[in-house]
């Protein structure tokens, strides 16, 4: 009886724990879904779900699981006026766990968001609508670098402007603090910068739009660039962060921004070359496209020179005329050579493949050298004879895979160039 009683109690306890766990699981929310972002032009946009977009990442604020605990139906609204980015911040939910009933505390969602959203936001919709009206007075910061148009199926021809700003522009510091909150949601390893340092340059993209017969400006995206010093009298601008806000992505603004920034630095004699900090795959693709566009007219990259290989002339011309370093110029050469190669001709295709693999093989060769050094330290009986072969085989497979990925990316760039021609 005693044993049966204990088992019964344990079972009862386990069932309770299980029920409790199930109940609490209902109070977990995916923060990438719960966070609702919006760029508001008209008061009607506030209630229009069609203009809402969500983060790609929220792990920097809510941890690796990207989950907030303690709420059912959680909605974290961060709505921004389209130009000045005046902010409406609200946290909504249908129910919340309580310490008294559920013996657990909900996450401090509001506190976590307050850590990244600068002061000056409102939690009241009417106040936000008043701030929205003030967007009519909002003008882009800094100096105008470039204007371009994009054809939109619904709206027709839309005009965009790229401006260069710095921290001395009145009101820019506060605007930048609001703008950079978006980085947390769309760049995996984003961090905020110390904008006070006067070596930062800011490049901003704006769309001109019409509201009640007036021209207003909406924020589209931006880029931050840090001017590093190069001995003795040069600078090396390094792109730090680039973001085109999601409603505007895939429309060509990223390419326009990067090209305008590149052209701007090319015009400055003190600039050595232009680099990027820890570039993402998407950024590299965009940069390849822009650099090929800029280099394709240079004599050293002419079609009849490409099959002779990557030359010193190419390195010099890309560096002198466009401030492109050797590594980037090499990729440009490979893309242009692919475009000029008849890949249905087996011999030509083989030559091209070997040329690209020669570059890709660099890191593998280093690996092999390290392996050889390790072997010297091992006793003969410790050497597994087929190990070397296995490594070479694996390395060949890896190399082939890398080559296929590279060529696939190059082909997309060539298609994009053709569609823009
Ligand atoms: C990476 C990023 C800056 C690119 O900006 P973007 O404005 O979307 O770039 P573009 O529109 O010029 O090009 C993106 C794609 O849209 C395509 N595109 C451009 N205009 C297009 C058009 N009119 N119709 C169809 N497709 C178009 C391009 O071909 C390109 O395709 P690909 O990715 O297959 O090469 C942007 O997506 C972004 O901010 N992402 C999040 C943050 C990030 O990753 N930043 C970079 C590292 S810091």
pLDDT of residue 282: 95
Cis peptide before 232 (omega within 30 of 0): yes
Q: Write the residue with the smallest CA distance to atom 9 of ligand 1.
A: 254
By the 8 A CB rule, do 203 and 176 touch? no
**Contact 9 CB / ligand 1 (< 6 Å):** no
Same domain, 272 and 318: no
Q: 120 by DSSP, 3-state: which?
A: coil
Domain finish residue from 278, 309, 334: 278
Let me know if residue 4 belongs to a domain: no
| Structural domain contains residue 292 | no
The SS3 call for residue 328 is helix
Residue 13 included in any domain: no
Ligand 1 atom nearest the C-alpha of 241 is 48
- Are residues 288 and 260 in contact, defined by beta-carbon separation less than 8 angstroms? no
Q: Are residues 421 and 318 in the same domain?
A: yes
In a domain, 289, yes or no: no
Ligand 1 atom with the shortest distance to the CA of 255? 12
Residue 420: CB within 6 Å of ligand 1?
A: no
CA distance 402 to 154: 40
pLDDT per residue of the chain (421 residues) written in tens, 0 to 9? 667 677 777 776 666 667 666 767 889 999 999 999 999 999 999 999 999 999 999 999 999 999 999 999 999 999 999 999 999 999 999 999 886 666 788 999 999 999 999 999 999 999 999 999 999 999 999 999 999 999 988 889 999 999 999 999 999 999 999 999 999 999 999 999 988 899 999 999 999 999 999 999 999 999 999 999 999 999 999 999 999 999 999 999 999 999 999 999 999 999 999 999 999 999 999 999 999 999 999 999 999 999 999 999 999 999 999 999 999 999 999 999 999 999 999 999 999 999 999 999 877 666 677 777 776 776 655 555 445 555 778 888 888 999 999 999 999 999 999 998 7
**Whole-angstrom distance, CA of residue 389 vs CA of residue 396:** 11
264 and 146, same structural domain? Answer: yes
Residue having the nearest C-alpha atom to atom 15 of ligand 1:
250
Assess whether the C-beta atom of 213 lies below 6 angstroms from ligand 1.
no
Please tell me whether residues 191 and 267 are part of one structural domain. yes
Task: Give DSSP secondary structure letters for 234-277.
Answer: EEEEEEEEEEE-GGGTTSSHHHHHHHHHHHHHHT-TTB---EES
Ligand 1 neighbourhood includes 362 CB (under 6 angstroms): no
Q: C-alpha dihedral over 166, 172, 178, 181, to 10 degrees?
A: 0
Shared domain for 263 and 385, answered yes or no, is no
Q: Are residues 232 and 147 in the same domain?
A: yes
CB atoms within 10 A of CB 287: 23
For position 384, what pLDDT does the model report?
A: 52
Given CA atoms 402, 405, 411, 416 in this order, what sign does their dihedral have? negative
Q: What's the CA-to-centroid distance between 252 and ligand 1, angstroms?
A: 6
Which are the catalytic amino acids? Answer: 277
DSSP assignment of 46-76 equals GG-GGG-B--S--HHHHTTTTEEESEES-EE
Q: Which domain holds residue 152?
A: 139-278
Residues 154 and 131 in one domain: no
For ligand 1, the distance from its centroid to the CA atom of residue 148, given in whole angstroms, is 16
152 with 238, same domain? Answer: yes
Query: Is residue 6 in a domain?
Result: no
Same domain, 123 and 155: no
- CATH number of the domain within which 251 lies: 3.40.630.30
Domain contains 331: yes
Query: Does ligand 1 lie within 6 Å of residue 158's CB atom?
Result: no
- 243 and 170 in one domain? yes
Q: Which of 219, 246, 242 is nearest to 81 (CA)?
A: 219
Residue 9 lies in a domain: no
Instruction: CATH number of the domain at 390, please.
Output: 1.10.10.390
What pTM value is reported for the model? 0.90
Residue 70 counted as domain residue: yes
Measured distance CA(294)–CA(242) in Å, rounded: 20
Q: Would you say 38 and 45 are in contact if contact means Cβ atoms under 8 Å apart?
A: yes
Number of domains in the chain: 3
- The torsion angles phi and psi of 48, rounded to 5 degrees, stand at -90, 105
Residue 279 CA, closest ligand 1 atom number:
47
Domain end among 244, 278, 312: 278
Final residue before a domain boundary, out of 278, 308, 336: 278
- Let me know whether 359 and 306 are in one domain: yes
* C-alpha 133 – ligand 1 centre gap (Å): 31
**CATH number for position 76:** 3.90.360.10
Answer yes or no: is the C-beta of 250 below 6 A from any ligand 1 atom: yes
Is the same domain home to 146 and 124? no
- Among candidates 116, 111, 108, which has minimal Cα distance to 55? 116
Residue 190 beta carbon below 6 angstroms from any ligand 1 atom: no
């Amino acid at each position: 009886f005693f044993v049966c009683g204990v088992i019964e109690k344990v079972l009862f306890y386990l069932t309770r724990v299980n029920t409790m766990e199930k109940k609490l699981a209902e109070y977990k929310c995916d923060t990438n879904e719960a966070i609702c972002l919006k760029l508001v032009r008209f008061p009607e946009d506030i209630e229009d779900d069609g203009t809402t977009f969500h983060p790609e990442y929220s792990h920097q604020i809510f941890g690796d699981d990207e989950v907030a605990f303690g709420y059912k139906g959680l909605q974290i609204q961060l709505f921004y006026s389209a130009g000045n980015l005046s902010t409406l911040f609200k946290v909504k939910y249908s129910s919340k766990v309580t310490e008294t009933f559920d013996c657990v505390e909900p996450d401090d969602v509001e506190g976590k968001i307050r850590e990244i959203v600068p002061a000056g936001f409102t939690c009241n919709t009417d106040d936000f609508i008043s701030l929205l009206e003030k967007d009519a007075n909002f003008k882009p910061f800094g100096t105008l670098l470039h204007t371009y148009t994009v054809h939109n199926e619904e709206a027709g021809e839309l005009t965009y402007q790229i401006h260069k700003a710095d921290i001395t522009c009145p009101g820019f510091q506060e605007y930048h603090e609001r703008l950079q909150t978006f980085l947390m949601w769309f760049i995996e390893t984003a961090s905020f910068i110390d904008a006070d340092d006067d070596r930062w340059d800011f490049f901003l993209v704006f769309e001109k739009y019409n509201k009640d017969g007036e021209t207003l400006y909406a924020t589209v995206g931006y880029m931050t660039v840090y001017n590093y010093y190069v001995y003795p009298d040069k600078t090396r601008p390094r792109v730090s962060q680039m973001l085109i806000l999601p409603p505007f992505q895939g429309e060509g603004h990223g390419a326009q921004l990067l090209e305008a920034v590149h052209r701007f630095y090319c015009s400055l004699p003190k600039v050595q070359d232009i680099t990027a900090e820890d570039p993402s795959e998407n950024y590299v693709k965009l940069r390849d496209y822009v650099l090929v566009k800029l280099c394709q007219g240079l004599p050293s990259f002419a079609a009849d020179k490409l099959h002779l290989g990557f030359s010193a002339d190419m390195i010099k011309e890309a560096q002198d005329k466009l401030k492109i370093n050797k590594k980037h110029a090499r990729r440009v050469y490979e893309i242009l050579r692919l475009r000029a190669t008849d890949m249905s001709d087996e011999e030509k295709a083989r030559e091209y493949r070997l040329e690209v693999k020669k570059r890709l093989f660099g890191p593998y060769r280093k690996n092999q050298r390290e392996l050889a050094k390790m072997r010297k330290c091992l006793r003969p009986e410790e050497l597994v004879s087929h190990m070397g072969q296995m490594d070479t085989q694996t390395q060949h497979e890896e190399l082939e895979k890398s080559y296929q990925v590279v060529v696939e990316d190059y082909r997309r760039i060539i298609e994009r160039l053709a569609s823009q021609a």
